[in-house]
Structure 1
Amino acid sequence: MKPTPGIRILLVDDEPHILQFLELGLANEGFDVRTAPDGMTAINLAQEFVPHVIVLDVMMPGMDGFETCRMIKKGGSEVAVIMLTAKDEVDDRVKGLTLGADDYLVKPFSFDELLARIRARLRNQFPMLFGEVKLGRFSIDDRRKEIQYEGQALELSPTEYELLKYMVANHGIVLSKSTILDKVWGYDFGGEENIVEVYVRSLRDKLGDKEHRLIRTLRGAGYRIDLS
């Protein structure tokens, strides 16, 4: 699986030689790579860089990897976190996974093993990065930023595209307005929740969903897309 351009990886470790080695190797694989020497830098960079994967060392001075992971996941980010630990202890693995980590590697590890873990996380959490995904009557091509419905490409604004992609990817799940705002507009969006209603109305028009049978409104709860 060759990565498509634009896949972003953040490396967090207080050992410069490890950062340099991993950065060079992952850049040669076609990834867009940034590095951070400590937890606070990683948290700030994650907000700016918006990585798909964070490779995060547990044992760092100051803010350790556990707290860094907790803070990053607290922001509602969908990023995949792979934690690096020098201890092959069950307690460390359980703690990391409980705080939101998606995988872990025990030091020392091979570059090929890390690469395999990164690709596995990308396949599981960001399948749309690698080609066209078909869900019910929808076809989503994230590389072209195009969504087709019943074989016809929809004319969507960038925000409409992100909103519809998010709702289709989470079909069958009730999505509140606040959740949609966090995931589509960003957690720091300062506008009103009613903006979601405006965009949902526009999507219904473009989908010909006059009866609201595709994008359903659940009063007091939010919206749900049904693909069946």
Structure 2
Amino acid sequence: MRKILVVDDDKHILDLVSIHLTQAGYQVLKAENGIQALGILENELPDLAIVDVMMPGIDGIELTKTIRNDHVDIPVLLLTAKGELEDKEKGFLAGSDDYIVKPFEPKELLFRITAILRRYDKPASTLMQVGSLTINRKRFEVTAGSSTLLLPLKEFELLSLLASKPNQVYERAAIMEKIWGYDYEGDEQTLNTHIKRIRERLNKIASDVEITTVRGVGYKLEVHPS
């Protein structure tokens, strides 16, 4: 059973979300503030965290940053009463995976949860070997020989996605959805920039591994004979 942590200082919202999640078959962990949430995370590893933005003490943005720093595999869905672009930007910069504005329909919340969990489906193996490149999904390290890369989170997720199926072409839209979420407000230049940075890093440690552009479609990871 999938486990979801719900954090909201509004008890009515907390109970309402918990009821709908339980009815949908999820196990729910409830916290009324950021401190309680961090205490739960010391003993539990939920599959997803639903976090209210406007909370006293540790607000949702700070809690999201902490979750992504300490538990990088736990996706975060932010709940907020605000819908301005600036607030969405703060949430995404903090590391959230999606964003839903109150009041919301329970069906929409469940849809977004399903979409996030689908994106976070992990390859069966913690270690992925692609050419001379080893990707350690548990330690978030990329190594080749004696060289080690510690990539920013989005670059690591992007490289891991492409490396999970070498030579398979991933469409740009599919990559954007899996890495940034289906309603990300940015444009494809963000993807271009991340691909460029990963290429530059790979060139320094693994010349046999290359991210190839498939014009008009997307990208794939190729391995060249040594």
TM-score range, shorter chain: 0.5 to 0.7
In structure 1, the residue matched to 2:127 is 167
- 1:34 and 1:171 mapped to 2: Cα distance? 38
8 Å CA contact retained: 2:51, 2:78: yes
In structure 1, the residue matched to 2:78 is 83
**Can you list the C-alpha shifts for 1:93-122, whole angstroms capped at 9, x where unaligned?**
001100100000011001000000000001
8 Å CA contact retained: 2:127, 2:134: no
- 2:51 and 2:21 mapped to 1: Cα distance? 15
8 Å CA contact retained: 1:174, 1:221: no
Pairing 1:129-140 to 2, within 5 Å after superposition: 140=124
In structure 2, the residue matched to 1:94 is 89
TM-score, normalised by the number of residues in structure 2: 0.60
TM-score, normalised by the number of residues in structure 1: 0.59
Post-superposition offset of 1:41: 1.2
2:34 pairs with 1:7: no
1:72 is matched by which residue type in structure 2? I
1:125 is matched by which residue type in structure 2? Y
Larger Rg: 1
8 Å CA contact retained: 1:175, 1:221: no
1:221 is matched by which residue type in structure 2? T
In structure 1, the residue matched to 2:206 is none
In structure 2, the residue matched to 1:37 is 32
Number of equivalences: 152
In structure 1, the residue matched to 2:157 is none
2:213 pairs with 1:218: no
Which blocks of at least 5 consecutive residues in structure 2 are unaligned?
A: 150-159, 167-222
- 1:171 and 1:58 mapped to 2: Cα distance? 39
Q: What is the SS of the residue equivalent to 1:60? A: coil
Query: C-alpha root-mean-square deviation of aligned residues, in Å?
Result: 2.8
8 Å CA contact retained: 1:54, 1:81: yes
Identity of aligned residues (%): 34
Which blocks of at least 5 consecutive residues in structure 1 are unaligned?
A: 1-5, 129-139, 141-164, 184-215
In structure 2, the residue matched to 1:118 is 113
